[in-house]
Every structure is written in structure tokens, then in C-alpha cells.
Structure 1
Amino acid sequence: MSAAKILLVDDEPDILEILEYNLKREGYEVSTAANGAEGLKKADEVKPDLIILDIMMPVMDGVEVCRQLRAKPDFKNTIITFLTAREEDYSQIAALDNGGDDYITKPIRPRVLVSRIKALLRRNERVDELDDTTEIAVGDLIIDLEQVLVRRGKEKIELAKKEFDLLTLLASKPGKVFSRDEIFNRVWGTDVIVGNRTIDVHIRKLREKLGDHYIKTIKGIGYKFVF
């Protein structure tokens, strides 16, 4: 199996050097870019499996880079995580709203970051307990696991990877209430630490794309799929 390709985009040379060194030690193929515009160009060239973006960068910020990448079919399922010193809720929400999979705050020890990257890569292809199923039909929705899209009649609804994984989990057992902890563990993985707003943002985006009536909030517990 070939090594995963990782693209680092950050305007701090020291950060790039340290992360590149540690990731290459783990056997990853690593490319780097020093600003957002360069990162977009490099992503098109190398087609990485995972992209690590700083938010505050010259030329183009990381959120805009993420937004433009998600608009391209080639990057629909690419893992994109933000590595930034900004801890405000609005920065995290903007990052996730525009297609980010994870949000990691600086400073972080290189070994801890490598562990997070490994966990994200392991979980990327995860679809829990569906065996050889290729479709889930529930209500008026058909969830196509092979094409990673949702169909409603003739309408095709494209979702980001984590949105799709979250919907697949909820729809796999309609009516079952999934706790927030269970959703975190089964969609993001027990060894991935994501921000507190991550589930809320992804649920909101699912409702925007599918409609408000499919996913019900169970206050203080979690969410369930209804139809």
C-alpha cells in the first residue's frame, strides 16, 4: 500500500519544517506551501490524501482555500484539517462550515499531531457495521455508499465526507437516538479529538441540504433520524 500524501500549508517556515520532518519520519509523502494561493496550486498538482491548513495566511486564508477545494470534485473526500492559533468559536465554525474535517489549535507537540493525522487517515474510509451494503433506502432518501451521495427522486444531493458518514450512521437505525459521544466515536473515532461545535455544525449543514425534518435533536442526549 502506497504512503499517504499530505500537503502542509502554513506561512511560518519553522512550522512547515518541523511538521514536514516529523511526518516524513512516519513514512508519509509530504508537500508544502507557504500561502493559500500556493496551497491551492500544489493541491491540484499532488492530489493529497490529507491537507493541513493554517487559517491566517497571506494572499488567501485557509478557510477560503478549503471552500475552493471543496467546490472541486477531486477534493470532495480529501481530509482537510485546520492547524491554527485561533481558538475563537467563530473561527472554528467558519472552518467547519466551509468543509473542514477537524480543527487543531497551536501549539501542539509534533508527536501528538502525528497521532491525530494517523487517526484521521484511519477513519477516513470508515462506514460502521454496514458490511457489503451499497445502499440505504430510508423514507424518500437513498444513501449510495459507493458513490458517496444521496438521492431523493431524481435529485442528487452531494455531501462532504463527514456529513455523509454522519447521515449514514443516523440513517442506519432510524428512530434510534445516538448520543453525542457515540457519534464522535463512530464518525470521528475514539482517538480523534475534535472541537465541541463539530457535531452541531455538521448536523446544521445536513439540515440545510436535506431539510429540517429528517434529523431530530434529543435535548441533552443526541440526535436521531426520523421519516
Structure 2
Amino acid sequence: MELWKIILLVSAVVVTIGGLGFYIWVRFWIKKYRKKMNDGNSILDSKINRPNGGDVDMNLKESLGSKFDIFDLETILNFLYRNSFRKIKVIGDDSIFITLSIWKQLQFIKITNPEFDNELIEKVKNDFPDYREFINEENSNDYDALIINKSKFDYNKTYDTFIKDVKEKGTLIIVENSNNLIKEDFESLQKHLNYLKEHHETIKVKNKITFITKNFN
């Protein structure tokens, strides 16, 4: 057999094995993820997903230079949709992309972002007509959900600082992709939440996401 044919055959086998391995890994991850979400005590019930799942605006992401993971965003979007949350707040890194993505996907939501750059928002509205109707709501302290990405604080201070802005049965959502949110801090917060009997769940998508429901019990 000619050398180039051997090389092509070997390459095809390697690609096939690699693709099969990736497929098996994805199936395993989905199965594990759904098992976690379908836990009877879970606040992350995966039986209901929004109808426009997977329809995140990648052009907006590229335009804003956002590094926020799409799978993390999809997880948060589905959580907000399932719970029919109407009033949320977003802070932290990449907050503009997260805010506009949530608004576009779930237009029944009123959303607040205290860190908005007005000039940048006007540019986005000019470049992307779909966002021209967006309104940044006034700040308050009774949100159905507060999302914080890449907190400046450790876990305990993040919880203490922001949980007060979440109403009863509302949820504080902490996305861990910061050096301040280290393992020891996370374990300390878990102990604190267990002591308070505050319902909380953590899942690993791209990053670790912790959902804390205020006075759930």
C-alpha cells in the first residue's frame, strides 16, 4: 500500500476514535448533569427548558469581547425560565453581555445592571437593533435572582454582601471563576449555609455555579 494511503487510513482511524471518545464523554456528562438536575430535592429541575434554548447571540458576545461561557449562560437562563423569575440583577465581569443575553432570551424579565457603561450600551443598540428596546431598571433590594460573576470578594463576603438584595425565596447565583473564590472559602460558606439551614446547590458546568435560595425552607 502506498505511504500516502497508509497515512490517510491512520488519520481516519484516529479521527474516528477521537470523535467516538468525545461523543461518549458528552453523553456521560449529559447523563450526569440530568441526574443531578432531576434530584427530587433539587432547585435546578431540568424537566422544563425554555423553547429558544441554544439561541444565544454569538455576534453580541464577539462584539463585546465576552469570555463568559455559553454553557454557564444556558444553565442560568434555563434556571430563570423554569422559576418564572421577573426581576433580576446582574453584576461582576462580563455583566453587560450576561444582562443583554438574559433580556433578549427572556423578555418577560425586568433586569438591573448598576455597572452599565452608557456609551457602550448606546453603541450596542446602534449596532444590534434587537437590543434597542432594552431598559436598565432602577436599583432596588427585592430581586427574584441576583447573579454575580467573578466576585471581588471571597464566598462568605459575597454571600453577606448580596443576599440582602434578594427577596424571600429568591436566589443568589454565584459563578466561580475568580481567584478570590477558592476551595477553602467555598467550604467555609457551605458550613455557614448549613448552619443557617439555607438551601443551596452547586453544579460544575464550565465553571462552578452556586445557587443559594433565601429562606427556602
What is the TM-score with the length of structure 2 in the denominator? 0.35
- Which structure has greater strand proportion? 1
- Which structure has greater helix proportion? 2
Higher gyration radius (CA):
2
